[in-house]
Structure 1
Amino acid sequence: MSDQPTYPPKAKPGDRVAVLSPSFGGPGMFPVPYELGLRRLREQFGLEPVEYPTTRKPDATPQERAADVHAAFTDPSVTAILATIGGDDQITVVPHLDGELIRAHAKPFFGFSDNTNLLDFLWRHGVVSYQGGSVMTEFGRPGAMHPLTEASLRAALFDGGEFDLREAEDVSTEVGHWGDPATFEALPPSEPATPASWHRADRVVEGVSWGGNLEILHWMAAADRLLPAERYAGGVLVLETSEELPSGTEVFRMLRNLGERGLLRQFPAVLFGRAMAWSFEQPKDAAQRAEYRAEQRAAALRALDAYAPDAMAVFDVDLGHTEPQQVIPYGGLIKVDGPARRITVTY
């Protein structure tokens, strides 16, 4: 991991930005949040979205999606690339990507969840990207974009430099169905946010970030897509879980497997995103959500105690599958200041 990551040039208002579906062509099935996200890109950010053949195509092949990724990176009129949403099969797209081509035309890429595959691919080819900021979820949020999310996205897209992550005062967990237009007429319900929880916060760690969605990382490990553990030494590990709501037992087992690989001990600091704790299949109430997050935190601490006993950890950071979401540079610099209880990212 390089201590001097390469940040692609920033976009600026008025620029054209690619809008891609490297995983699931969600816009073809749920046009309302997608069109809302496009409108906010135009009206609030002053950017002109550019679609590609598979952006709205739910059944696009891996080869077709890879071709769109190549086209977006090599298009000289495009200055940034945003994923529409995640999915579950981007792992099949990565073998069709040309890393040298993409590195030669490096641009900021924004996405999370299944886009962990592409974030990692860019990291391995020396390009800083951004975990977060999907069109259908963050830009297409019902009612309005969350102010914390918007501030983070503006800093990552346009400004660069250091940015202190702020703790949310309120969080949204329950979501309306995207097939119902009424969902988008009001803000999602919210509840007071619990503060971040710091573990072994007696030092300052600064390093290059790596990680992503834990379930996707587990798939990548099974497909032998990870590098030797020593290549990650000294970095800041960023982890979060999805709306599939893996149990504490599952979270421990996934982390244990990474620990047995020798991976966890490479990172002196770990950031865990605030766990999503509600889904249509598991509609947990407030008490159950708190219990679920506590169970996941205990599972993570158990794994760290076994495989990275000296690591500093911060839980309930507003990143990943959470609302509000703040953007995390992937392969970029993060400073975790335990005594000051401050997380500073470099966009």
Structure 2
Amino acid sequence: MTTPATPVTPVYPAKPRPGDKVAILSPSFAGPAVFPLPFELGLRRLREEFGLLPVEYPTTRKLGASARERAADINAAFADPEIRAVIASIGGEDQITVLPHLDRELIRANPKPFFGYSDNTNLLLLLRNLGIVSYHGACVMVQLGRGGAVHPATADSLRAALLGSGEYELRPGAEFRDVEQDWAEPGALAQEPAMRPAEGWTWHRADRVVEGLGWGGNLEILSWMLMADREIRPVEEYAGQVLYLETSEEMPGSDEVYRILRNMGERGLLRQFPALLMARAKSWSFSQPLEPAAGAEYRAAQREAVLRALAEYAPDTLAVFDVDFGHTDPHLVLPCGGRIRVDGPARRITVQY
């Protein structure tokens, strides 16, 4: 185990102000080296729409950078007093190999807001265990590099989390998208992507109010962290907290989703959380381009798999499905280690940035 010996209640690090420098890192996949167009677009929007000065590090665009090299960039970004926040370029699949090379005491002594999701679940949970609130959401290439413009709901949530503080209410969107744009095609990024009507959130056992610290991330990445026993605290320390989960563009089947949750249940972890936020499942990718009807079936099957696991291991848990914080568009920001309030009777979700 590499986590601290005692539980830590995370605190919110100071936020950047317009004109401040922010580190742009690739802790996992050096996506900017392969797809520079959405990356450059995201950097420009950070400068022009958020007023921040992005600073790239040596491995941000370096394909094949070692885990030790990427960790050195993370350490350097947290150590630099001029850097006021850290934002991931994109996710990936091997960030778990970076964790052993991080200087935890250096990071703990220099807390900064970190933004990322998907494979960045690794770093989010490491920061949480070090006592630093971090932010599940908003990578440079995906949300900031979106074709046409940053989705208004994404932009509003990101601005509140990145530049502001205080209470923020998440709201169900009227539209959504999970069909990907072609990042290699310049014309695609100049166009606003096609959106589809959203059906709103689905509430389960919404007869109570739950408020607690947020914990979770990408379900597949969490399963790997559980297997490797990385950044996972004793299960009792999660009692009363709010679990949030999302699935990736690899589109795990409903059986796999159920089995991961079943194993979390067998570990005694699932029942610790009186509330679960489940993101709208991504149901389209270039390798699995499902038609809308098939996509709806995929999302429904995933919801049923989650409900089955809850019925068996956490029957009293309040759950909200199709919340916009995963691999779909728009994308709302959740505080990892920050407070989340799930008000079932009022059908409201409020977070503390």
Distance in structure 2 (CA, Å) of the matches to 1:22 and 1:177: 23
1:273 maps to 279
Deviation at 1:5, TM superposition (A): 3.1
Distance in structure 1 (CA, Å) of the matches to 2:104 and 2:303: 36
| Contact persistence 1:173–1:189 (CA under 8 A) | no
Match for 1:163 among 148, 168, 176?
Answer: 168
1:8 maps to 13
| Contact persistence 1:9–1:108 (CA under 8 A) | yes
**Deviations, residues 207-235 of structure 1 (Å, cap 9, x unaligned):** 00000000000000111112221121110
Matched, 1:345 2:351: yes
Q: Which runs of 5+ in 1 are unaligned?
A: none
Matched, 1:239 2:245: yes
Structure 2 SS opposite 1:343:
strand
Match for 1:79 among 74, 80, 84?
Answer: 84
**Deviations, residues 267-315 of structure 1 (Å, cap 9, x unaligned):** 0000000100100111111111111110000000000000101100000
**Deviations, residues 99-135 of structure 1 (Å, cap 9, x unaligned):** 1110100000000000000001001111000000100
Q: TM-score, normalised by structure 2?
A: 0.97
Deviation at 1:176, TM superposition (A): 2.1
Distance in structure 1 (CA, Å) of the matches to 2:181 and 2:74: 31
2:293 maps to 287
Distance in structure 2 (CA, Å) of the matches to 1:36 and 1:145: 10
2:332 maps to 326
What amino acid does structure 1 have at the position aligned with 2:256? Answer: E
| Contact persistence 2:22–2:52 (CA under 8 A) | yes
Matched, 1:33 2:29: no
Distance in structure 2 (CA, Å) of the matches to 1:124 and 1:342: 28
**Deviations, residues 223-274 of structure 1 (Å, cap 9, x unaligned):** 1112221121110000000000001111000111111111000000000001
2:63 maps to 58
**Deviations, residues 21-43 of structure 1 (Å, cap 9, x unaligned):** 00011001100000000000000
> Identity over aligned residues, as a percent?
63
Match for 2:229 among 224, 231, 248?
Answer: 224
Matched, 1:18 2:23: yes
Deviation at 1:4, TM superposition (A): 5.2
What amino acid does structure 2 have at the position aligned with 1:299? Answer: A
1:98 maps to 103
Distance in structure 1 (CA, Å) of the matches to 2:330 and 2:63: 27
Deviation at 1:185, TM superposition (A): 1.5
| Contact persistence 1:2–1:208 (CA under 8 A) | no
Q: What is the root-mean-square deviation in Å for CA atoms of aligned residues?
A: 1.0
Distance in structure 1 (CA, Å) of the matches to 2:278 and 2:175: 18
Structure 1 SS opposite 2:261:
helix
Tell me whether 223-232 or 16-25 shows the greater mean CA deviation: 223-232
1:3/1:164 CA distance change after superposition, 3 Å: farther
1:112 maps to 117
Alignment length, in residue pairs? 347
2:191 maps to 186
| Contact persistence 2:7–2:237 (CA under 8 A) | no
What amino acid does structure 1 have at the position aligned with 2:177? Answer: S
